[in-house]
Structure 1
Amino acid sequence: MAPAQDQRSRSSKPATIHGCAQSGDLSAFQKKLQENPSLLNARNAVMAQTPLHVAAGYNNAMIVKFLLDWRGPEKIELEAKNMYGETPLHMAAKNGCNEAAQLLLDRGAFVEAKANNGMTPLHLAVWYSLRAEDYLTVKTLLESDADCNVKDNEGMTPLNHLSQGPRNEKLQELLNWHLEEQRKRKAIEACCETKAKMAELEEAISNIVGLHDLKLQLRKWAKGMLLDEKRRALGLKIASRKPPHMAFLGNPGTGKTMVARILGRLLHMIGILPTDKVTEVQRTDLVGEFVGHTGPKTRRKIKEAEGGILFVDEAYRLIPMQKADDKDYGLEALEEIMSVMDSGKVIVIFAGYSEPMKRVISSNEGFRRRVTKFFYFGDFSSTELAQITHLKMNAPVKDNLLYGFKLHPSCSVEAIEELIEREITEKQRKEMNGGLVDPMLENARENLDLRLDFDSVDADSLLTVTIEDLEAGLRSLSQ
């Protein structure tokens, strides 16, 4: 590397700011930058490198520090990339410039930055160390938690690159030690995240009334997926899990749609799904009126649902009551759905009455193979309906009519259960199930409004639903 004076003697041209950065002539560099601050991040003609790239690549630490401390109107581009996609930290790493690398890292340079070939600074530092037997820059990057397991565009990790050069036991030992430490730390972090996610899962499950089998299955999936996270954090190679297609069987109002929405959020949280979206469809969303319409119509809905759940409500309506009905296109829609269920792009939930759903199960020989989880949604008891009432009042959504309201202390689960038993027949309860709760509460609010006196109410009374209001709500409903 020729000093700046020798370069000037060979050329009549004055040294550029990049030349000063290379030579380490701090006073000349400072003068040029103060005269023209726009040169701070200027690119040179050939490599498209900034002065920081050059100074870092030649380990001119004083110039690197001066640039990092610059307080002009324009800020230094710490992650600027040259024509090869390399940052200043890449330049320091590939040339074993440890002092410059440390300065850049101390100022927040991204240790996992990737060049166009996918190499990180650690990849390049290993290459340098193999040639020069100087491990300082590798050690500095590892102390800044550079990932030993990151892969370049050819699938090579920094450790893999050791096989490309002369055997170097000291360098291999250094990388292996840090790799093991990183695995241990990731396993501990994964364990903490697992506990947090399981706590979030339990909170969400607590909002589902009944459905013991479904809750148990959710816990199994969650624990399995979260343990897989820990296994991968330890560097263990394991197969990915297949998405679980399901059938929800039960009467209307038993919570099938609500549970599907909760399920979407939970399966996304534990890593089975990339998104939490639930696309709800019925026969009319899938089946066309003429030949050739059903396939494209169904495929559009499947595409819309990708990454989440396709919830097919009243799925039995896709299957004609009479086998000879060759004008019905529901079977075509079902076959389109079946054709994508092995792709892993979407989870399908078929929902409907238990008895008619047998037509769906028997209509396609691949149904039982693909739909492996069947959950029965039983009719809600009076106790469960009372629990749902409390859940809705304790955690209402903002667009709910009862948002901001609360139940009077006398409205215990037991009191509401007794009220439902007294005011609603078993036949009505089984016909409506959870669909009974919202209209009961809406009617109760109307009764609250009716009985309030404009002149004699306080703020608490304005928002409190009493057992009398609920009773009036149920009577209006039963009538």
Structure 2
Amino acid sequence: MDLQQALHQRRARARATSVHSLAQAGDVVGLKRKLQESPALINERNPVMSQTPLHVAAASNRAEIVKLLLEWEGTEKAEMESKNMYGETALHLASKNGCSDVAKILLEGKANLEAKAGNGMTPLHLAVWYSVKHEDHSIVETLLHFRADASVTDNEGKTPIAHLPKSPSHQKLCALIQSHLDQQMKEKAMQVCESSQLKMDALEAELQQVIGLHDLKVQLRKWAKGMLLDERRKALGLKVAVRRSPHMAFLGNPGTGKTMVARILGKLLHMVGVLRTDKVVEVQRTDLVGEFVGHTGPRTRKKIHEAEGGILFVDEAYRLMPLQKSDDKDYGLEALEEIMSIMDNGSVVVIFAGYAEPMKRVITCNEGFSRRVTKYFYFDNFTTQELGEMALLKMNAVDIESLMFGFRLHDNCTADAIAQLLYVETTEKQRQVLNGGLVWPMLINARENLDHRLGLDCCDVNELVTITSEDLRAGLRLLSS
């Protein structure tokens, strides 16, 4: 380092020392002059503690200096949340030194009341320390007045009240904080109560998009209610056991809504905090099982990683079980065991789906499966009436990306009328095999029939976009053929 650089650094340290000294001494005139000469000094850090003038003024209870710094109209502004070498803000220093007047100014200026220092302590933690040492509760009262959170824990897992020595001399301070904590718990419980109702309303709105499945909806409501009540219990400070990851099996024929319900569950579990995200990763055997030794594990783990924080939906899960126990060339069992190995760590919720009868083989033949999967939902085949309601729902919910966007059903295409069409134009076997899978192809085919039926000279606005029962019938016949 040359002489010129050394002199430059010495002058910089002198400037920093000077501005900090002025702040500590409460020299308003001197500090103003200094900042006018060099505006950047407003956030200058001193060489040892890495503190700004605002830190120093707050620790020294220099209210006029703190006001000056916060209201400074120069090109540079004081950084209120700047931290010193211990991770403390100006509010931390005001709190640990019992500077109530300064704390009020900082809080009125929107200082972060819950900022954490390097040891995880908030200003309230440090205020308790000061109050214990000096038997002065005013700084604690100030922070509580501004609604400091008395339930926050530091790096040792201690709340502010936990730092109080068990002594009769501190009963008043203990009662002050406990009273605030009790009130805070009640307010949180009220907020959670309001939030719970909003979440249940959101769940109901989602369930309205699902036709039929009455028994399943009842179970989902019970389940959601239990999780939301757990939220309320925790908000009231109650210690309750953590629920096991709600792994499930969806049993039923294709087209009965299993995938749709899985997506709703993703939203629900994310909404109540069971899952970090609402994503649902859908996989089948071909996504998991490799053709050679050593391929299946990595492929399965990749899909599990994709689903982390959300739901892994394994469709036709029974295909992972070999038909014969002696079939050692089938790697499906390896994929199943890979999935089950992560089902206890809470990172993913797994839903296994498939036909009811083949799934029973998986349930009964694998002890780990039956131990980890705790919820079984049965999806019955849709009735023609439910399929008619589904058609109306789909037409009312089309978005701009949909092939049916801009089209409507004729007024006489009621749910009952569509149900009658389905009963006449499809067989029971078709309905059992396709279920909800009948509806969308029927609507797409009906739109094509509308195009075929209309002449190019048609200019009637309503006629151009209105699908009739005749179009629906033609759509079903095309589907059957």
Q: Deviations over 1:14-61 (max 9, x none)?
A: 961111110000000111111111112111111111111111111111
Task: From the superposition, tell whether residues 66 and 459 of structure 1 become closer, same or farther in structure 2 (CA, over 3 Å).
Answer: farther
**What's the CA shift for 1:212?**
2.0
Aligned equivalent of 2:382? 380
Say if 2:278 and 2:310, in contact at 8 Å, map to a contact too. Answer: yes
* TM-score of the pair, normalised by structure 2: 0.93
Say if 2:458 and 2:464, in contact at 8 Å, map to a contact too. Answer: no
Aligned partners of 1:365, 1:168: CA distance in 2, in Å? 57
| 1:197 alignment partner AA | K
Partner of residue 457 from structure 1, selected from 450, 459, 472: 459
Aligned partners of 1:60, 1:205: CA distance in 2, in Å? 60
Aligned partners of 1:283, 1:379: CA distance in 2, in Å? 24
Aligned partners of 1:453, 1:81: CA distance in 2, in Å? 75
| 1:406 paired to 2:380 | no
Task: From the superposition, tell whether residues 461 and 125 of structure 1 become closer, same or farther in structure 2 (CA, over 3 Å).
Answer: farther
Query: Aligned with 2:49: secondary structure?
Result: coil
Aligned equivalent of 1:260? 262
Aligned equivalent of 1:392? 394
Say if 2:16 and 2:44, in contact at 8 Å, map to a contact too. Answer: no
Partner of residue 119 from structure 1, selected from 121, 129, 143: 121
Moved more, 452-461 or 373-382: 452-461
Aligned partners of 2:460, 2:65: CA distance in 1, in Å? 71
Aligned equivalent of 1:251? 253
Aligned partners of 2:348, 2:330: CA distance in 1, in Å? 26
Partner of residue 174 from structure 1, selected from 163, 173, 176: 176
Task: From the superposition, tell whether residues 14 and 250 of structure 1 become closer, same or farther in structure 2 (CA, over 3 Å).
Answer: closer
Partner of residue 92 from structure 2, selected from 90, 93, 106: 90
Aligned partners of 1:436, 1:150: CA distance in 2, in Å? 55
| 1:210 alignment partner AA | G
Measured on the aligned residues, the alpha-carbon RMSD in Å equals 1.9
Task: From the superposition, tell whether residues 463 and 79 of structure 1 become closer, same or farther in structure 2 (CA, over 3 Å).
Answer: farther
**What's the CA shift for 1:115?**
0.3
| 1:476 alignment partner AA | L
Partner of residue 422 from structure 1, selected from 421, 424, 436: 424
Task: From the superposition, tell whether residues 73 and 455 of structure 1 become closer, same or farther in structure 2 (CA, over 3 Å).
Answer: farther
Task: From the superposition, tell whether residues 13 and 257 of structure 1 become closer, same or farther in structure 2 (CA, over 3 Å).
Answer: closer
The alignment covers a number of residue pairs equal to 468
Aligned equivalent of 1:47? 49
Pairing of 1:36-185 with structure 2 (within 5 A): 36-163=38-165, 167-185=169-187
Aligned equivalent of 2:347? 345
Aligned equivalent of 2:235? 233
Aligned equivalent of 2:4? none
Query: Aligned with 2:382: secondary structure?
Result: coil
Can you give the 5+ residue segments of structure 2 that lack an aligned partner in the other structure?
1-13
**What's the CA shift for 1:103?**
0.7
Query: Aligned with 2:376: secondary structure?
Result: strand
Aligned partners of 2:396, 2:304: CA distance in 1, in Å? 35
| 1:466 alignment partner AA | T
Task: From the superposition, tell whether residues 195 and 36 of structure 1 become closer, same or farther in structure 2 (CA, over 3 Å).
Answer: same
Q: Deviations over 1:281-338 (max 9, x none)?
A: 1111111111122222222222222221111111111122233222111111111222
Aligned partners of 1:342, 1:244: CA distance in 2, in Å? 10
| 1:179 alignment partner AA | L
Pairing of 1:1-16 with structure 2 (within 5 A): 16=18
Task: From the superposition, tell whether residues 14 and 284 of structure 1 become closer, same or farther in structure 2 (CA, over 3 Å).
Answer: closer
| 1:407 alignment partner AA | L
Say if 2:207 and 2:217, in contact at 8 Å, map to a contact too. Answer: yes
Aligned partners of 1:43, 1:14: CA distance in 2, in Å? 7
**What's the CA shift for 1:406?**
2.9
Aligned equivalent of 2:332? 330
Task: From the superposition, tell whether residues 18 and 458 of structure 1 become closer, same or farther in structure 2 (CA, over 3 Å).
Answer: farther
Aligned partners of 1:406, 1:201: CA distance in 2, in Å? 27
Pairing of 1:295-334 with structure 2 (within 5 A): 295-334=297-336
Aligned equivalent of 1:433? 435
| 1:193 paired to 2:167 | no
Q: Deviations over 1:86-107 (max 9, x none)?
A: 0111111111111111011011
**What's the CA shift for 1:74?**
2.5
Say if 2:17 and 2:46, in contact at 8 Å, map to a contact too. Answer: no
Say if 1:130 and 1:166, in contact at 8 Å, map to a contact too. Answer: no
Task: From the superposition, tell whether residues 460 and 267 of structure 1 become closer, same or farther in structure 2 (CA, over 3 Å).
Answer: farther
Aligned partners of 2:455, 2:47: CA distance in 1, in Å? 82
- Counting aligned pairs with the same residue, the percent is 64
* TM-score of the pair, normalised by structure 1: 0.93
Aligned equivalent of 1:274? 276
Can you give the 5+ residue segments of structure 1 that lack an aligned partner in the other structure?
1-11
Aligned equivalent of 1:9? none
Aligned equivalent of 2:10? none
Query: Aligned with 1:159: secondary structure?
Result: helix
Task: From the superposition, tell whether residues 424 and 13 of structure 1 become closer, same or farther in structure 2 (CA, over 3 Å).
Answer: closer
